[in-house]
Structures are given as C-alpha cells and as structure tokens.
Amino acid sequence: MTDQRPGKNTDQPNLKELITLVEAARLSGFTGRHLWKLASENQIWAVKLGRNWFTTAQAVKEYLAKNRKPGPKPNKGP
C-alpha cells in the first residue's frame, strides 16, 4: 500500500527521482528520524513504499529554502 504525504508540491515525481530518507539526510544535514517526522507532519513531500519512506532531492531543497526558525520554541503559557 502506498501512503502519500503531499507537501507543497503535489505532483507525482518519477520513480527515478526518489531517494531514501537516509540519502535525504545526507543532503540536508538532518537525521533520517527528523525527516520522517517532517514527512509525517506533511512538512516535506514523502511517500511510503512497502516499509520504507522516500522523498526527492527537490522536496528537500524546497524545505531547506523555507524560512525556518531553529531552536527552542517559546513557551505558550496560560
């Protein structure tokens, strides 16, 4: 069964463009676990084929180009 997680780009990539989250981690500097979290939150395009997750180099580049604010988030108190 295929589980698609659309991000910004909803076009289906060519199968030749797919890379594993481990390969995407090498491109981005993030861990594979962090990329999995981004995929599960629909922040980066990814697809699950069998038991493995795949994305594209283009999806990684698009995510990295976003204006992100790393670091601890402010406390949203009462």
Please state, in angstroms and rounded to a whole number, the distance separating the CA atoms of residues 64 and 69.
Answer: 11
Please state, in angstroms and rounded to a whole number, the distance separating the CA atoms of residues 57 and 78.
Answer: 41
73: which DSSP letter?
P
Look up residue 78 and give its two tokens.
């009462």
Q: Global pTM?
A: 0.68
Q: What's the confidence (pLDDT) of residue 15?
A: 81
In tens digits, the chain (78 residues) has pLDDT values of 444 554 444 567 778 899 999 999 999 999 999 999 999 999 999 999 999 999 999 999 999 998 676 677 677 766
**What does the CA dihedral 60, 65, 70, 76 come to, rounded to 10 degrees?**
-100
52: which DSSP letter?
E
Look up residue 10 and give its two tokens.
């909803």
Q: What's the confidence (pLDDT) of residue 66?
A: 85
